[in-house]
Structure 1
Amino acid sequence: MAPNQNGTENDATLVNRSKKEFVRDYPNANPYDTKAGEKPYKLEIVWRNVFLFLYLHIACVACVFYPVSGKVILFGFAYGFISSYGISAGAHRYWAHKCYKVTRPLYFILLFLQTIALQNCVIEWVRDHRVHHKYSDTNADPHNASRGFFFSHMGWLMCKKHPDVFKYGKRIDMTDLTSDPILRFQKKYYVPLVLFCTFALPITISMYFFNTPFWYAYHWHILRYVVSLHITWSINSVSHIWGSKPFEKDIKPTDTYAIGFMAFGEGWHNYHHVYPFDYKVSELPRYWCNFTIPFIDFFAWLGWAYDLKTVSDDMIRRRVLRTGDGSHRHSKEAAKQKTQNELIEEENNNINEEEEERLKQNVARIRDHYWGWGDSDMLEEDINDIRTVNPKTCAE
């Protein structure tokens, strides 16, 4: 859903549509399962990408022959650290999910950091990610975890996309980004921009400020870049295989502490797929396991980030008790309370049948598959339960 001319969403347009068509025409999870009238799928390797990734990893190993000083290591770590905000706070939470809004200064900061990360331009990154959320772990998902760990980790970048990625991807609204001339500029000149921001700039700084020979600085920054890639890729692979599912037990995404810490809070993936519009991407209040929250909160304090969307504790509790795997504290407390009240259960059996039926229908529906704030498939009850932090009425 594109913002209106004032840069704000019209909540009246976000009311949930019927899911009948969505459920009927949903992509398969197995790439070799074809629907009537479709051609059989054939895996096509993109050898250029295979050799590129092979070279990058060989260059990482070669770092042992090009040792650098502690200052260069620290600088490379810092450069990679800030680039992660370009993905977590920028491409992911701001552009892909529209979890919050920004003023122009923060917009350009995020765009610069996202360019440093070298994980594709904003428009293409967001397109892939919105499709991933809308059709998670099916053939329309670019990094479908149903195809195995390696494919969802990095194999998807070494072969041509499944036809369903394009077929269903056309249904994703991208006009909010494709209408942005600055993002179109980044896409058009992406190669020279990343060559300068990702490699030329940090290598030059390492050479002239830390007296590091070119090849030594070059290999170190290749290593820094590859490590950042694997951290991001782990969200698509590890966080779709191992971990808990406290919010929705019937989807693949999981909550994983290790990935949550390394990926700046992006490892709380089960929560995130249930609430993709929450700027915190988790319910945990602690900053140490979600470095992106203090980043956004700091700029909200400055007034550069506003209309931060999150969910209430009551909304979380209701969802946990309805569809969670029992690992959440609310589930454990409810189970304990149920045990204590078994003797008086018959006296409290006056459940409203109409409300019970409504809850059953909600569970039966595919309700988690929307890409974030602005998706017209959002449930009206979710829209009404959303809390806004640091609200503003001004345009971006």
Structure 2
Amino acid sequence: MAPQTEQEDSLSKDEMFEKFVAPQADKREYKILYFNILTFLYWHIAGLYGLYLCFASAKWVSVLNCFIFYVLGQIGITAGAHRLWSHRSYKAKLPLEIILIFFNSIGFQNTVIDWVRNHRLHHKYTDTDADPHNATRGFFFSHLGWLITKKHPAVKKFGKTIDLSDIYNNSVLTFQKKYAIPVIGVCCFVLPTVIPMYLWGETFNNAWHINILRYMLNLNATFLVNSAAHKWGYKPYDKNILASQCHPVSLVALGEGFHNYHHVFPWDYKTAELGNNNLNFTTKFIDFFARIGWAYDLKTVPDDILKNRALRTGDGTDFGGSRRAKVI
């Protein structure tokens, strides 16, 4: 990690925005990464073809297999890269870490080390030009555009200041980084394709394209947290930020749509408050491993702190987004 200058060390977060991030606003350029465009274009076209095959010729068990791998890949992002490794909102014993790195490799959104760097940067400089998927640059940019254009200079500058010492000291994560091509290649593309072929005789054409459909859905479910959950929904905890409670996103992203809450209390392992566990499969996953002792030190926020923050800075909606907040 590149050290900051003494001058930068002495600046507050707001002062750093003013001096280094805000001046870049008029320098926003969209330098296209054409290889990335072709890659995403292929994945989406092949995924749509896979959707057609689900109805036209695939065996029902192949569709079920697609759904199972979707859930596994999503858990690898939500419970692994996000809640465990990015925010350290709970701790995991080695067997659970191995399970999560396997699931994360199925979901394949770069290596965990790169994912964590981007996500910590996103939280530290949310909705500024130092945010990799800055929502102020539009829905498409925050959803996918940031991956098909070159990084903003502020992202590169402040990305070097993010502390990743805990991540680089984790042998599970460095193993994935070192052997990314074979590990991710096998977990994300080979296994979900060969399992249907050899266990129940699915054709390669069906198995491959239905898996690409699954992968495309994994990607877009996570992308919706960056885009839709920064554009639509309620703001019961902080009305001054873009992050919102977007329940449809929680449904597809297994609990990640309570985003206004998450940006106010990012250390909560649930990323959601009170009774929202009905749309929070990831929390149920972590709770299961907590019961058998593989997950521990689960961090939460007391209810009185939630209510006080909602009354102080919220938009007046209650925690479910439908009622007025009341003093209790």
- TM-score normalised per structure 1: 0.76
Q: What secondary structure sits across from 1:137 in the alignment?
A: coil
2:64 aligned to which of 43, 66, 74: 74
1:306 aligned to which of 274, 296, 299: 296
2:326 aligned to which of 325, 333, 345: 333
1:51 aligns to 2:41 (yes or no) = no
- Give the counterpart letter for 2:299 in structure 1: K
1:25 aligned to which of 10, 16, 20: 16
- Give the counterpart letter for 2:325 in structure 1: K
Q: What secondary structure sits across from 2:300 in the alignment?
A: strand
Q: Deviations over 1:273-292 (max 9, x none)?
A: 00000001011335321001
Matches within 5 A, 1:206-225: 206-225=196-215
1:182 offset after TM fit, Å? Answer: 2.9
> Does the C-alpha gap of structure 1 residues 116 and 29 become closer, same or farther in structure 2, counting only changes over 3 Å?
farther
Equivalent position of 2:6 in the other structure: none
1:293 aligns to 2:283 (yes or no) = yes
Equivalent position of 2:130 in the other structure: 140
- Give the counterpart letter for 2:65 in structure 1: F
1:184 aligns to 2:174 (yes or no) = yes
Question: Which segment is superposed worse, 180-189 or 144-153?
Answer: 180-189
1:261 offset after TM fit, Å? Answer: 1.6
1:138 offset after TM fit, Å? Answer: 0.6
1:130 offset after TM fit, Å? Answer: 0.3
Q: Does the CA-based 8 Å contact 1:117-1:198 persist in structure 2?
A: yes
Query: What is the distance in 2 between the residues matched to 1:30 and 1:194?
Result: 39
Any unmatched runs of 5+ in structure 2?
Answer: 1-8
Q: Does the CA-based 8 Å contact 2:98-2:172 persist in structure 1?
A: no
Query: What is the distance in 2 between the residues matched to 1:286 and 1:21?
Result: 35
Equivalent position of 2:95 in the other structure: 105
> Does the C-alpha gap of structure 1 residues 31 and 59 become closer, same or farther in structure 2, counting only changes over 3 Å?
farther
Query: What is the distance in 2 between the residues matched to 1:90 and 1:60?
Result: 25
Q: Does the CA-based 8 Å contact 2:24-2:154 persist in structure 1?
A: no
- TM-score normalised per structure 2: 0.91
Query: What is the distance in 1 between the residues matched to 2:208 and 2:306?
Result: 46
Instruction: Give the number of equivalent residue pairs.
Output: 312
1:149 offset after TM fit, Å? Answer: 0.3
Query: What is the distance in 1 between the residues matched to 2:23 and 2:36?
Result: 24
Equivalent position of 1:62 in the other structure: 49
Q: Deviations over 1:210-248 (max 9, x none)?
A: 211111110110011101111110000000000010000
Q: Deviations over 1:307-330 (max 9, x none)?
A: 000000011011111100001269
- Give the counterpart letter for 1:302 in structure 2: I
Q: What secondary structure sits across from 1:276 in the alignment?
A: coil
Q: Deviations over 1:248-289 (max 9, x none)?
A: 000010001111121111000000000000001011335321
- Give the counterpart letter for 2:94 in structure 1: R
Q: Does the CA-based 8 Å contact 2:139-2:227 persist in structure 1?
A: yes
2:225 aligned to which of 205, 222, 235: 235
Q: Does the CA-based 8 Å contact 1:101-1:306 persist in structure 2?
A: yes
2:149 aligned to which of 137, 156, 159: 159
Q: What secondary structure sits across from 2:299 in the alignment?
A: strand
Q: Does the CA-based 8 Å contact 1:206-1:212 persist in structure 2?
A: yes
> Does the C-alpha gap of structure 1 residues 134 and 151 become closer, same or farther in structure 2, counting only changes over 3 Å?
same
Query: What is the distance in 2 between the residues matched to 1:287 and 1:326?
Result: 22
Query: What is the distance in 1 between the residues matched to 2:133 and 2:45?
Result: 24
Q: Does the CA-based 8 Å contact 1:83-1:113 persist in structure 2?
A: yes
> Does the C-alpha gap of structure 1 residues 177 and 320 become closer, same or farther in structure 2, counting only changes over 3 Å?
same
> Does the C-alpha gap of structure 1 residues 21 and 125 become closer, same or farther in structure 2, counting only changes over 3 Å?
same
Q: What secondary structure sits across from 1:25 in the alignment?
A: helix
Q: Deviations over 1:320-351 (max 9, x none)?
A: 111000012695324xx9xxxxxxxxxxxxxx
Q: Does the CA-based 8 Å contact 1:99-1:279 persist in structure 2?
A: yes
Q: Deviations over 1:174-216 (max 9, x none)?
A: 1000122332221122122111111111111110112111111
Equivalent position of 1:42 in the other structure: 29
1:202 aligned to which of 192, 198, 205: 192
- Give the counterpart letter for 1:92 in structure 2: H
Equivalent position of 1:355 in the other structure: none
- Give the counterpart letter for 2:154 in structure 1: D
The structure with the greater share of residues assigned to helix is 2
Query: What is the distance in 1 between the residues matched to 2:84 and 2:78?
Result: 8
1:171 offset after TM fit, Å? Answer: 1.8
Work out which of the two has the higher radius of gyration on C-alpha atoms and give 1 or 2.
1
